[in-house]
Structure 1
Amino acid sequence: MGDHLPDGLLADVLGHLAPRDLALSRGVCRSWRAVVDGRRLLRADLLPLSLGGIFLLVSSTCFPPFFSRPWTGPAICGDLDSFFGADDQSVLDIDLCGHCNGLLLLHEAVMNPATGEWARLPEPPPPHVPEFYYERRLAFDPAVLPHYEVFLIPELPGRSHTTLSPLLKQSEWPPSPLVLHAFSSRTGLWEERSFVREQGHDGGHHPMATVADVQSHDLFDNDDYCCTFWRGRLYVQCQYGVVMRINPSSGTYHLIKQPMAMGANKYSKFYLGKSKAGVYFALVISYRLQVWYLDESCYRQPAWVLRCDKNLEPLLQPWRSYQERNGDGPWRLLDLDQEDHGALLRRRRPRAVGVEL
């Protein structure tokens, strides 16, 4: 029927679609594609672009170094320091906390390194439980909405850091409802949101643990908890070996036990991320890499499916050769305060923060 509508009317109808739906509608037929492209309805700046570089979290650096490759798009400056003036740096805590679909989450700001734009986060409200820690997590999908949200996710302190009341130690973790503070770039305000734990596949609500259980868990010392945002839901790697799937639109959350492998211990490194197919979970034990895919075909009972189990030691030989050549290759490591790149990477083990720019 679209072929019989005037272009102006068709453009008005298509213009009310969300960016992701509009992108799908563009592939329906040639006439629709001509209207979408001719009227510039689909904003290219809201769509995920190709990978332009990776920021590395390396200790003893003010800003993360930028690992990039030559490409034909606009040049991206990996020197984040250049985006802030001296006055800003003196009053802002700009440590890198995370990323999501091209945006970087700093402790007190959110920035787009591809454009150099940044916005300061206002001071959040007082925490609900002052004894807990609260980590900032970024949720942003430019193919759906141009706005981002920042959630304060509670984490329990170790037994050696604070003394909790007996009543609090015996309370379930996480609680239901779970009350979180969230900042919206659309309103520019922090607001309080309540999330109820979803029912399991058998219809019941099962508390995962108590606060005391989490504090005594073997994996408690892992300080590299990750998160990712996929199809409107925030996946957060939490204590006690679980992944929390938060659904802001429905006000619910679901707990998914993270996959475990033979030989995994508290010194193993876990990484939660996404690819085109969905959410993935990676485990690195020495030179061994294992990757699981989260099968959510059964929404209430998602399952991890092992996709990769490889020994990486043979693959590290080319990388070592690359280091010996001081980075003489197609990928370049930039902005390390004039320090020798190869020597720095040999001394420290960087943790990659993949940012689509």
Structure 2
Amino acid sequence: MPVWTPKTLLFPFFIALGLIALPDRPLRADSAGYQKTLKSTAWVITSNAENETSAGTGVYVDAEKKLLLTNAHVIGESRKAVVFFPTQTAGKLAVRRKFYLNNILKLGIQGDVVAVDRKRDLALIQLPRVPSGIEAIEMADDSTTPGAKVALVGNPGDSEILWVYTAGTVRSVYQKKFKSTHGEHDFMALETQSPIKPGDSGGPIVDEDGKLVGLAQSFSPQSPLVSFCVDITEIRPMLDSPWKSAPLPAKVLLDEAGIEYTKHASGHYQIDRSVGSKTQAVFVAKNTEYHGRADIRRIWSTVQTTDQAPGETLLMRLMRQNTATKLGAWAVEKTASGYVIFYVAKLDATASDEALESTIDYVARLAAAMEQDLKPKPDQQTAQATLQAWLAE
């Protein structure tokens, strides 16, 4: 064991004093950065077609157009959002959710969702006004680098407190393609060593100068300290590109079109259409599908379920018919109970009410005709025999 002399004792003592004194400047810098970022941060509340609410965070990015940026998964299929900016009460920052909700008429701002990019998991909300003192955040020109210090201001859902500050460090910046519970994503990711919690999504990730370098998106299921953010190099193109209108939820679109429906046990929407003397059930998918900036609404009708796989001749005939149909195609799907033959159309999810109704009618008529053809005849015992007889005619 070493023998410590007074000289060796003094050295670590002064180092310790330095460690105590040095944080004064970084702490003041962090506080100033927090106050600066706070002026651009918002609490975002949305509601889906089933009146289920969700909440997240957003960042004010354009004062001229009054645009708030958040994640697409925060918005979901909602086309309206209630936005709260931080305010003070009794000279102090109000941080409790209940305070804002109790003062919603005074503090809440209803915004319109004007653009959604699901691939990047970004969405824009346009606001009619913003409170005084709110400022559009300054954006970095390019990506930050590994090892850089960053910070987040967010609204974690597991807390009654808003405007929570979280510090972190950049681990890496790279192209990330992955699936989440919110869909398929492909964007330049800013990976950080800092916890992001549900509710923080859409919050600003800022560098030491207070400039926006990313948007909080998700956290790793393997490590809660590893978080993924949308890099600034994805945010700038989103803001600069022409906005594509965000599609309405299926329920809202059906309601606005005056189309009667029932909600199926699967969650999809069932429309019963009369075709001649029979009723054909047509389904509209509850969620939209997308590829890049293309949003698609799926509409289909089941024709037959059988425990035997359709023969090669039938499949070839269905393929030939697919080349002649105006929209959509015949499909065969294997399920746990057998094989399903159905007709499916995929419509632009931003198409008009009239286009939706026309597509539903088209799917109903085509499916009803095929179902009639496949129906067993009196002298035949099985659906497979009907298929063979029908193909032989």
TM-score by length of 1: 0.23
Higher relative contact order, chain-length normalized (CA < 8 Å, sep 6+) = 1
More helix by share: 2
Q: With structure 2 as the length reference, what TM-score do the two structures score?
A: 0.21
